[in-house]
């Protein structure tokens, strides 16, 4: 691979790509374009820009098997908390991945869950930290491949939060009240709490006076604290951290019920990503070790003790729950 600097812009071309995509250019010609442009860039600046538009593939090469070799990895995370909280949470991981893999990485926080699915389907995201529901939708819609998950993600739970001052001790006592769920496509904030309520004989639309959907788990908890809803369902990890000893909500809110366990968050990649890049990313996650100080900070921020390989079968329960609600239909996967 050669680099040609034109003005202040660094442009990369690959002779192999030229052979594949511009069959009328010989291998020899494609191979010497870089040196010619360096020597004659003052005279051929406009021509260089035209040629390089055709020859250059700045971030990815396509191999003969149809897979894509990534040089820049755009990493999407669900907007299930405030953007500032997410940036703080993932910053150490981004730095670690760049250092460990020598890949350029970019953190992307989409506007909402549907946007993240759309950006992944369009190939704008190469790696994404999906919830269980959004993963099964991405799998159904764009053949997402599960790569890695936290050790805690196989035994995930959702929590129902109420005010400490509320004397009621069971969810069935909240009939006729307002319940807050997370975004409709949230696994831990909506799908699985709803599923377990249904299994216990509580159909939300009939049981509660109204249902509200927040933009994220932290907002759900805040709504309960502010009295917007009498009870709220949220990711237990986030709920428990917000109700921690040093939190302003510690004495105002409490957890009234916790769901059975299920598999949730998973890092998934495009099925077109080449195996060497997939392996590089997977091994970087697997190498995170709590006994290493730098790694400990990363794992603590991500709520993990380590990472394990993920497989499609891990999400059979989520897939069945989503399918039962029609959430894997094409019209509901947008």
pLDDT score, position 319:
94
Are 194 and 285 members of one domain?
Answer: no
- In this predicted model, what pLDDT tens digit does every residue of 14-56 receive, in sequence order? 323 332 222 223 333 334 334 433 343 444 344 333 333 333 3
Shared domain for 162 and 253, answered yes or no, is: yes
Whether 126 and 270 map to the same domain: the answer is yes
If asked whether residues 117 and 80 sit together in one domain, one would say: yes
Q: Is residue 316 part of a domain?
A: yes
pLDDT in tens, 262-273: 999 999 999 999
Distance between CA 275 and CA 278 in Å, rounded?
A: 5
- Say if strands 210-213 and 178-181 run parallel, antiparallel, or are unpaired: parallel
Same domain flag for 274 and 225: no
pTM of model > 0.75: no
Average pLDDT of the chain is 81
Domain count within the chain? 3
Give the residue numbers spanning the domain of 49: 2-58
Reported confidence tier of residue 316, pLDDT bands at 50, 70, 90 = very high
Question: In this structure, what is the dihedral angle of CA atoms 28, 31, 35, 40, given to the nearest 10 degrees?
Answer: 70
- Asked if residue 84 and residue 52 are part of one domain, the reply reads no
Beta strands across the sheet bearing 104-108 = 104-108, 72-77, 127-130, 266-269, 145-150, 307-309
Is residue 223 located within the same domain as residue 290?
no
Identify whether 63 is part of a domain.
no
Residue where a domain terminates, one of 217, 236, 258: 258
Q: Are both 104 and 171 inside the same structural domain?
A: no
CATH number at residue 176: 3.40.190.10
Residue 20 belongs to some domain of the structure: yes
The tokens describing 328, both together, are 């894997």
Is the same domain home to 150 and 269? yes
What percentage of the chain reaches a pLDDT higher than 90?
Answer: 69
Helix (H) or strand (E) holding 72: strand 72-77
Residue 271 lies in a domain: yes
**Top-confidence residue, 145 or 332:** 145
């Amino acid at each position: 691979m050669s680099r040609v600097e034109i003005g202040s812009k660094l442009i990369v071309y690959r002779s192999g790509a030229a052979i594949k995509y511009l069959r009328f250019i010989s291998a020899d010609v494609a191979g010497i374009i870089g040196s010619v442009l360096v020597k004659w860039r003052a005279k051929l600046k406009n021509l260089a820009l035209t040629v390089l538009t055709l020859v250059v593939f700045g971030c990815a090469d396509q191999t003969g098997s149809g897979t894509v070799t990534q040089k820049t990895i755009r990493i999407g995370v669900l907007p299930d908390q405030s953007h500032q909280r997410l940036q703080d949470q993932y910053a150490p991981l981004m730095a670690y991945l760049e250092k460990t893999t020598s890949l350029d990485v970019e953190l992307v926080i989409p506007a909402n869950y549907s946007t993240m699915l759309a950006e992944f389907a369009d190939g704008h995201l190469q790696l994404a930290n999906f919830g269980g529901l959004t993963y099964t939708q991405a799998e159904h819609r764009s053949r997402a491949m599960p790569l890695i998950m936290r050790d805690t993600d196989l035994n995930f739970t959702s929590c129902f939060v109420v005010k400490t001052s509320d004397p009621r001790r069971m969810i069935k006592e909240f009939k006729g009240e307002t319940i807050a769920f997370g975004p409709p496509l949230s696994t831990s904030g909506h799908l699985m709490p709803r599923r377990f309520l249904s299994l216990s004989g509580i159909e939300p639309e009939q049981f509660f006076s109204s249902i509200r959907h927040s933009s994220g788990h932290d907002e759900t908890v805040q709504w309960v604290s502010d009295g917007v809803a009498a009870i709220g369902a949220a990711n237990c990890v986030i709920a428990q951290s917000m109700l921690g000893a040093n939190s302003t909500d510690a004495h105002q809110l409490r957890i009234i019920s916790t769901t059975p366990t299920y598999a949730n968050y998973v890092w998934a990649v495009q099925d077109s990503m080449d195996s060497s890049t997939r392996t590089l990313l997977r091994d970087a996650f697997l190498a995170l070790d709590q006994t290493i100080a730098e790694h400990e900070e990363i794992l603590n921020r991500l709520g993990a003790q380590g990472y394990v390989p993920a497989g499609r079968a891990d999400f059979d329960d989520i897939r069945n729950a989503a399918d039962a609600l029609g959430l894997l239909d094409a019209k509901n996967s947008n």
